[in-house]
Chains A and B, each alone.
Chain A
């Protein structure tokens, strides 16, 4: 079981998750400091280490819309958050898969700050309210990347395959 530490509205862009003015900072080891940098409350909680690993951030529709900046994913991953969103923008979703961010897409999901939630197989349960929400399955190809442990590992695997079978890539 995990606690919802924060909830945010629809259409939260990558400019909100990781403002452009910190984009010169690229390394996943350094980006977590700027997560939600312009949201004094949430950034303050993260900085004060009030958010234990595995805590839940609940997002609305179209989470991560906007730019392709990968910092918006690595900054959240650095805090080891579980993100539950009602829907997610495409590039953000792809980056999340590639970097191994703990992200669950559950259409219609509802939870308030302080609620306890749990991911059980193909649904996510708001234990506090007793409501259950089906999880949207990852598209097939993305699952292969998740299973390999992220895109870096997956690419290494494909390189090895290429080397042993130079004629094709299936």
Chain B
């Protein structure tokens, strides 16, 4: 029987010739990623070894990645102390893929991993972060796990109970209209299948639109697959993946892409033609509360945010700079931009985008998660509204349970910054 991409990856990683949805496997892990929550992973890891009489040892330090991003630089003594403990652990266990708070190679884990060439097609990637689904953009099977499960992976080198997810096939055709792109596509999909429409399932993306999409866009759709509940989102690797790996991630000899069999079994097929798609907005307080922009145009926003593991990449910042160049952020709002990584930041500097944004009145913050999860910078005031290119609008997400968050593309965010209200970027285009 034919296999999906996820089935093929899991079969290989478990030493089986054939697997199917529902099978329970113990795939070996190629890459195990954590961020600040490595502090809890370490705690649980040492707990496992307690009473065993053995020295705690990570199974393969070269396969462990730790990236500080959620609260950088530390916002409190508590966080700083957690980070300090993680640093000590990293040194003791000789973990090589460590990205500390640095201006040359720091950033958000879901940008740092791909751009550093750590994620390869066909790999099994686990991360103590739900948006680990991002890495499916490179044809890997990548999913989020909890801290205790990560401690178990650090110990054993494999994940103890992975149920092969059934796969939903999403076939995308058509050409995006100007000012419409991957973010609008994924918001539309989540709005269509709902926030739990893919729970316990994988989403495989196909179609001419996906084939033409650069890796940066594929990262957007795989990143937000988890907002439909998906275990993983995956774009089967192709020539674009190999180009990205060679040219942008410094991988000289990337492995051959894994493709699904033509007779693979899918639990559901969703077809989307993007040629008529308009900018999409996820309204408070659930990500699947998605509306075409026309229904919310004119909504007043107090804070505009561009950044995150969803839309903080170079093309996102370029899109925003293109719209804001020579214009001003409205006096009635404030605009925060946080590049997804130090490398993105440097390239945006070199290209002059940062100057464009700052001159327009935006505040450019250091790379990291920034206001996305409301623990650090950029909290909302009581009753305030944000328009953000991030991926979650849950109550309290931006640090204030009385605040409201609308999610959108970088083009919508930038056009709205000029007006101070939600604005269709196609207006006057």
Contacts and interface: CB of A to CB of B under 8 A. Distances in A.
Contacts of A169: 26, 156, 158
Nearest to B369: A20
Overall SS of chain B's interface: loop
Interface stretch (A44-52, A85-93, A113-121, A125-133): A85-93
Nearest to B39: A26
Given A23-B37, A145-B160, A155-B151, A66 B44 contact: no
Contact of B195 (A26, A65, A142, A152): A65
A24 B24 contact: no
B156 A158 contact: yes
Interface string A11-46: 101011001110111110000000000100000000
Contacts of A102: none
A27 B37 CA distance: 11
Given A38-B396, A94-B146, A152-B148, A68 B48 contact: no
Interface stretch (B76-84, B106-114, B210-218, B305-313): B76-84
Contact size range, B:
35 or more
Given A98-B146, A144-B161, A67 B375 contact: no
A136 to B, nearest CB: 11
A139 B196 contact: no
Interface string A144-155: 110000111011
A8 to B, nearest CB: 11
Nearest to B161: A141
B401 A20 contact: no
Contact of B47 (A61, A98, A152): A152
A57 interface: no
Contact of B48 (A89, A94, A155): A155
A62 B199 contact: yes
Contact of A38 (B44, B129, B148, B395): B395
A159 B52 contact: yes
B374 interface: yes
A20 B398 CA distance: 9
B71 A24 contact: yes
Find the residue from A69, A91, A140 having the highest chain B CB count within 10 A: A91
A73 interface: yes
B199 A95 contact: no
Interface string B268-300: 000000000000000000100000000000000
B146 A26 contact: no
Contact of A65 (B40, B152, B163, B196): B196
B199 A155 contact: no
A99 interface: yes
22 contacts: A13-B397, A15-B395, A19-B401, A20-B397, A23-B375, A24-B375, A26-B39, A27-B40, A62-B229, A65-B196, A66-B392, A67-B373, A70-B146, A91-B146, A94-B145, A139-B163, A140-B24, A152-B44, A155-B48, A158-B160, A162-B156, A170-B26
Interface of B: 24, 26, 36-37, 39-40, 43-44, 47-48, 51-52, 54, 70-71, 76, 78-79, 82, 127-130, 132, 144-149, 151-152, 155-156, 158, 160-161, 163, 195-196, 199-200, 229, 231, 286, 373-375, 392, 394-397, 399, 401
Given A98-B152, A139-B161, 18 more contacts: A13-B397, A19-B374, A20-B375, A20-B396, A24-B76, A25-B78, A62-B196, A89-B199, A91-B144, A91-B145, A91-B146, A141-B24, A145-B160, A150-B148, A152-B44, A152-B47, A152-B148, A155-B155
